Amino acid sequence: MPNASAGKTLLNDAVEGALDLVYPPRCVLCDTFGPAYLCESCASQIPVDVPPPVCERCGRHCDSLPCAECLGDPPYFVIAVAAGEYSGLTQEAVHWLKYRDRPMLAEPLGLILAAYARRERARLADLSFDAVVPVPMHPARGRVRGYNHAERLARVVGHELNIPIRPELLRRVRATRPQVGLDADTRRSNLDGAFRADSNAVNGLSLLVIDDVSTTGSTNRETAKTLKLAGAKAVYCLCLAAD
């Protein structure tokens, strides 16, 4: 049976589809009417790849390879990669997805993320994952926003890559301050103990964690730590963009 989260997503998708019949979509980037909220022309202009130098482990900009943080405090994930840089059109599209009530943007952005994962499959365990796991949102914040943008992206990626989507494997059990505007140290402490995973469910699994943006890498580190300590065999992280 589909879980409650999946059922709610299907209902929201149906409502959005009905609204599109009455109010034709307008591209959020170029403001032209068309079949989608991100037109093909704008989607094709969203840059892929983070300009070097980039840490081979955490996928973030760095001065040394691997970065000093990964050398001094190795993360629990095998590797974390981002499809592009968090700037320009990518940043604008993500802002619409997260903060301006455009959950339907998860479809075109998820397709970009899935295409990047296929291209980088050699670095991503040949995409032989047991499950795709979205970074969870605390229930209180989810009720305010109405949807989890990371889960929306993960469902598109999982469907495209034919990997089961298992949002129930990772839960956010502590409400945290929004990461935006916090410095690196505060971001890390902000997420301490924020997630929980059931060892009976994740034990022995190889998992691909999906999120929208990695700024300091704190979320990737904490989610991977939680899953690994619960018994996951391997954790890889894939984000749409890195700051």
Digit-coded pLDDT (tens) for 58-73: 998 888 788 999 999 9
In a domain, 15, yes or no: no
- Please report the pLDDT score of residue 23 as a whole number: 67
Query: What gap in Å lies between CA 162 and CA 104, rounded to an integer?
Result: 20
In a domain, 35, yes or no: no
**What's the total number of domains in the chain?**
1
H or E segment and range at residue 230: none
Pick the range with the lowest mean pLDDT from 20-24, 82-86, 134-138, 227-231: 20-24
Q: What percent of the chain has pLDDT over 70?
A: 84
In a domain, 102, yes or no: yes
CATH number of the domain encompassing residue 189:
3.40.50.2020
In a domain, 41, yes or no: no
- Please report the pLDDT score of residue 74 as a whole number: 95
Alpha-carbon distance values, 191 to 24, 126, 194, 228 (Å): 40, 30, 5, 16
pTM here? 0.87
The string of pLDDT tens digits covering residues 1-14 is 445 555 555 555 55
- Averaged pLDDT for residues 201-227: 95
In a domain, 73, yes or no: yes
* pLDDT confidence band for 224 (50 / 70 / 90): very high
Statement: residue 191 has pLDDT above 70 = yes
Domain boundaries, position 232: 48-242
In the chain the first and final C-alpha atoms are separated, in Å, by 38
Alpha-carbon distance values, 184 to 69, 119, 187, 211 (Å): 11, 30, 5, 18
